[in-house]
Structure 1
Amino acid sequence: MSASPRHRPSGLAFALASALAFGGSGVFARPLLDAGMDSLHVTWLRLAGAALLLLPVALAHWRLLRRRPLLILAYGVFPMAGVQALYFAAITRIPVAIALLIEFLGPVLVLLWLRVVRRTRVSPAAVVGVILALAGLGLLLQVWTGTGLDPVGVALALGAAATQAAYFLLSDRMGSDTSPVAVIAFGSLTAALLLGVLARPWDLPWEMLAQNLHLGALPLPGWVIALWLGLVCTALAYATGVAAVRRLSPQVAGGVGYLEVVTAIILSWILLGEVLTPLQALGAAVIVAGAFIAQTAVPSTAPDTEPGTRARTGDPART
């Protein structure tokens, strides 16, 4: 698939739309979680909705299922099912913004994988990025106080970061003849099927979708929230992310994508009343700076990968 010509204004608009759409996923999931719906059920609803919306794309690229079955399976397991399930499980125990910030350590884990496992040389800038991200994490968790955050929630968010790192590594192996939107479509289908075994959607409290749930002080029907998660926070977010990277360089699109964290912090503050302490806010800024430096320093490891392919499937943290 040939790349679209660079067009900065529309590319920036797409990147901003993608960051805003992704940034609201945790906030919009909270009403369902707070009402008692299991995090696996919420994850399955989001992925099943996205899979249904992206089904025409999958049908149009059905040959990809035969050509790259392992890639599709891996995308379904790690970036789609893994990131979403672990992130939603994390926000049942720790604030939305903090869970997302921890997940943004994914690029740092990629660098550690390349250096420790693959024995790949990394640049000094990458080392600076890792140090900044880890220092920011220490500030965010306030480790000198013994951390008042739920340790299980932190562990789940770190798991989301690890599966996000797998997303980067898988994207780096995607050839230039592979449509990233098709991979996302098949990945959503695969994830919905796999999670269906664990989530048991027939046991899902469907009646909750007919009830009014509260997004902060705003009452919304449960089905509207579920539709928003599948349509806006997943299908639209991925599609606009791909469009952004095709019109911008991966570094520029990735940089705009970090507005996802800002979106999550602002929305969780306004709608959920979750506020970071001044030290946590400083830690958030240091994590974003370090993760961004680490992301831009990640080398491409696939020699046959078209420039920009590694980031085509969206911006850094696809929660």
Structure 2
Amino acid sequence: MPPAPARHRPTGLVFALASALAFGGAGIFARPLLDAGMDPIHVTWLRLAGAALLLLPVAVRHRRLLTRRPLLILAYGVFPMAGVQALYFAAIARIPVGIALLIEFLGPVLVLAWLRLVRRTKVPPAAAVGVILAVTGLVLLLEVWAGMRLDAVGVGLALGAAAGQAAYFLLSDRTGQDADPLAVIAFGSLTATVLLLPLARPWSLDWDLLATTTALGPLPLPGWSLALWLGLVSTVIAYFTGIAAVRLLSPQIAGGVAYLEVVTAIVLAWILLGETLAPVQILGAVVIVTGAFIAQTAVPGTPGPPTDTPPDPIDPDRPAALA
């Protein structure tokens, strides 16, 4: 058992905040590429391929993990890396970024449902309260009484991302201390990049879009800079700072700060994309985040925030967030 890492709250909070901001901007920087006509699966592949290339040195250094834990690497490549991100980007092509991310935040609720209904594990009353709050918030967010004004396919895709995220949490609970978290992310990115090749068919991608200037709100940016941001900032830096946050804080504190990701996404979408929420949807957003947070913290051993690398309270070396 390795010694517990030294805690340093001020630095850890900076890393946790940086991770939440980096993850929160993923949908914002992807949206101009989607609006320019790029297919969501192509945007997903570019993000994963960029991250895989940047993390290749990490994968080479930990290459023994490939033979020791091949099923773990395959599962990470399928669910959190390829599945969650592809479904999330497909969702934001049809519904607002903030709403898609809020629905994805139902991941911890789905974990609790799995534990209770499939594993027959008893969950504390506080967990049930969190589930009820999260579902109530979703009803408010979707304005169900008005016939659900959002695109039903987009909502379904976001729910699929939440399901993939729940699978990621359950995988994280079985990772073990023999797998370096950043190495798992590196191999996960490489695996997902390869697995998505038949679907993404990058040779059919309109590469000219990367050289074309697109508008991120008032900012004219070349497409390649948006793709670079997705791979470098929203994936590599986001994961790295998330891991550092958990090592410098407790997983519970880092997990709580990571919930700022959804706030970041909503604020940036409002400033840069002009996406706004109705007052009742804002109330729903608050209720969802509150319910998901309660659900996540109510069950010992349940991984933390539902964004890109949830922590395990038992293993302080696991990352803090996933989007």
> Normalized against structure 1, the TM-score is what?
0.96
1:135-170: CA deviations, max 9, x gaps?
000000011111100000000000000000011000
Change in 2 beyond 3 A, CA 1:218/1:61: same
* CA distance in structure 1 between the partners assigned to 2:153 and 2:225 by the alignment: 30
The 3-state SS of whatever aligns with 1:309 is: coil
After TM superposition, give the deviation of residue 184 of structure 1 in Å.
0.4
Structure 2 residue 313 is matched with structure 1 residue 312: no
User: Which residue type is aligned with residue 19 of structure 2?
Assistant: S
Q: Report what 2:298 is aligned to.
A: 297
* CA distance in structure 2 between the partners assigned to 1:136 and 1:223 by the alignment: 37
User: Which residue type is aligned with residue 163 of structure 2?
Assistant: A
Q: Report what 2:184 is aligned to.
A: 183
* CA distance in structure 1 between the partners assigned to 2:62 and 2:4 by the alignment: 17
After TM superposition, give the deviation of residue 306 of structure 1 in Å.
7.6
What percentage of aligned pairs have identical amino acids? 75
User: Which residue type is aligned with residue 215 of structure 1?
Assistant: L
Q: Report what 1:235 is aligned to.
A: 236
Q: Report what 1:211 is aligned to.
A: 212
Does the 8 Å contact 1:83/1:164 carry over to 2? Answer: yes
* CA distance in structure 2 between the partners assigned to 1:62 and 1:3 by the alignment: 25
* CA distance in structure 1 between the partners assigned to 2:81 and 2:229 by the alignment: 17
Residue correspondence of structure 1 range 203-282 to structure 2 within 5 A: 203-282=204-283
* CA distance in structure 1 between the partners assigned to 2:299 and 2:53 by the alignment: 33
Does the 8 Å contact 1:136/1:283 carry over to 2? Answer: yes
After TM superposition, give the deviation of residue 298 of structure 1 in Å.
3.1
The 3-state SS of whatever aligns with 2:55 is: helix
Structure 2 residue 84 is matched with structure 1 residue 83: yes
1:21-64: CA deviations, max 9, x gaps?
00000000000000000000000000000000011101000000
After TM superposition, give the deviation of residue 4 of structure 1 in Å.
2.5
Q: Report what 2:41 is aligned to.
A: 40
* CA distance in structure 2 between the partners assigned to 1:306 and 1:86 by the alignment: 24
Structure 2 residue 154 is matched with structure 1 residue 153: yes
Change in 2 beyond 3 A, CA 1:233/1:306: closer
Does the 8 Å contact 2:105/2:289 carry over to 1? Answer: yes
Change in 2 beyond 3 A, CA 1:67/1:230: same
User: Which residue type is aligned with residue 313 of structure 1?
Assistant: P
User: Which residue type is aligned with residue 172 of structure 1?
Assistant: D
The 3-state SS of whatever aligns with 2:37 is: coil
Q: Report what 1:198 is aligned to.
A: 199
Does the 8 Å contact 2:251/2:320 carry over to 1? Answer: no
1:99-130: CA deviations, max 9, x gaps?
00000000000000000000001011100100
1:49-104: CA deviations, max 9, x gaps?
00000111010000000000000000000010001000000001100000000000
Q: Report what 1:102 is aligned to.
A: 103
User: Which residue type is aligned with residue 134 of structure 1?
Assistant: V
Q: How many residues align?
A: 315
User: Which residue type is aligned with residue 190 of structure 2?
Assistant: L
After TM superposition, give the deviation of residue 309 of structure 1 in Å.
2.9
* CA distance in structure 2 between the partners assigned to 1:101 and 1:300 by the alignment: 23
Q: Report what 1:286 is aligned to.
A: 287
The 3-state SS of whatever aligns with 1:299 is: coil
Does the 8 Å contact 1:171/1:311 carry over to 2? Answer: no
Residue correspondence of structure 1 range 122-133 to structure 2 within 5 A: 122-133=123-134
Does the 8 Å contact 1:40/1:85 carry over to 2? Answer: yes
* CA distance in structure 2 between the partners assigned to 1:148 and 1:299 by the alignment: 37
Change in 2 beyond 3 A, CA 1:110/1:223: same
* CA distance in structure 1 between the partners assigned to 2:85 and 2:187 by the alignment: 16
User: Which residue type is aligned with residue 269 of structure 1?
Assistant: W
After TM superposition, give the deviation of residue 197 of structure 1 in Å.
1.7
* CA distance in structure 2 between the partners assigned to 1:311 and 1:281 by the alignment: 34
After TM superposition, give the deviation of residue 209 of structure 1 in Å.
0.4
Q: Report what 2:62 is aligned to.
A: 61
> Normalized against structure 2, the TM-score is what?
0.95
The 3-state SS of whatever aligns with 2:196 is: helix
Does the 8 Å contact 2:95/2:151 carry over to 1? Answer: yes
Does the 8 Å contact 2:6/2:248 carry over to 1? Answer: yes
Does the 8 Å contact 1:104/1:291 carry over to 2? Answer: yes
Q: Report what 1:163 is aligned to.
A: 164
* CA distance in structure 2 between the partners assigned to 1:68 and 1:151 by the alignment: 38
* CA distance in structure 1 between the partners assigned to 2:238 and 2:255 by the alignment: 14
Q: Report what 1:141 is aligned to.
A: 142
* CA distance in structure 2 between the partners assigned to 1:62 and 1:145 by the alignment: 53
